[in-house]
Each structure stands twice: as C-alpha cells, then as structure tokens.
Amino acid sequence: MQNIFQNLKLRKPEISDAHAIWKLIKTSPPLDLNSPYCYLIICAHFADTSIVAEDQFGICGFISAYILPNSSNTLFVWQVAVNNDYKRKGIARAMIDSLLHRNFKFPINYLETTVNPSNKASGNFFRSTAKSLNTQCQESVFFSENNFGGQDHEAEILYRIGPFTIS
C-alpha cells in the first residue's frame, strides 16, 4: 500500500485554488457552501491561517481558519474538508498540525471551531485533536437554531480546545 503522504503537499492556499476549494466544499456535506467569492477572499486574505492539502491530482483537503481579532492566541477553524477518497487517512490531522506549527506573530494556545450536533465525525475529530494536544475540549452553544433567522439550520456548538503549547 502506497503511503498517501508521500505525494501530499501541505501549503498555504493561493487565489488560483479558490475554485477547486469551492468544488471540494460543494462535495463535502454537511459543510455550508459559501460563494466562490468567499473562497477567493479566504485565499487572498486568510492564506497565512488556512491550508490546502494537494497531491498529483489536485486539492484533496482544505482548512479555513483565522486568528480571533480580540484573542491573538486563538486560531478559529471555520471549515475542514477532505475529499471522500482521502477521508480517515490522517489528512485533516496533518493539516491542523501543520497550521499549529506555523510561525504566527503570537503563540497559538487555543483552537476554536463550531460543529453542528449531528456532525458526529467532526465532533469526534476535534475531541481527538484535544487529546493529541494533551488538553481539554470545552463544548457550549455558540449559535442557537434561532440565531439563523428561521432557516433550517442546527445550532453551532463551540469547541474550545486548550490551553496548549506548540513546540
């Protein structure tokens, strides 16, 4: 069996990646699909805190993230997507690890994200991320169903992982 990581490149997204990222998100339910313009902005303005996984066939993984404006030690992960052919092979974990090891202006000691209650895979992924960082994961409602203005949208549960130190 070929090592999947042998041909995998983890890197900052570029503007030219935006359409491929949009297509990846489109085929990654239950993630919310944003406009192509949104992914262009992420690639242009948030490349330092986001990441793509790319192999010889193209982009097979993506994480969008940003540093919280009022908490320079917290990385907020917005979306994590991995192509169906690559799921459960450690790519999401490798992308998170790579992001956390980037040189930011201030050390990252917390990771936050939101997950719908029905998205068990993402919930399990972030709980296991906390374990791998040897820290805690606190869960609380961040946005209730009512915050979505009557749209059919589940609550968003905030996962706050930390504190941790990356060496």
Residue 80, in any domain of the structure:
yes
The answer on pLDDT for 2 being more than 80 is no
Within 13 A of 27's CA, how many CA atoms are on the CB side?
A: 15
Domain assignment present for residue 20? The answer is yes
User: Model confidence over 80-128: pLDDT tens digits?
Assistant: 999 999 998 999 999 999 999 999 999 999 999 999 999 999 999 999 9
81 bridge partner residues: 62
Counted domains in the chain: 1
Domain that holds residue 102: 4-161
The answer to whether position 167 is within a domain reads no
Is 166 domain-assigned?
no
Are 51 and 95 a contacting pair, CB within 8 Å? yes
Could you give the angle at which helices 18-26 and 36-45 cross, rounded to 10 degrees?
130
Domain assignment present for 103: yes
Query: What pTM, to 2 d.p., does this model score?
Result: 0.92
Where residue 91 sits, what CATH number does that domain have?
Answer: 3.40.630.30
The answer to whether residue 83 sits within a structural domain is yes
What are the pLDDT digits (tens) for 13-41? Answer: 999 999 999 999 999 988 889 999 999 99
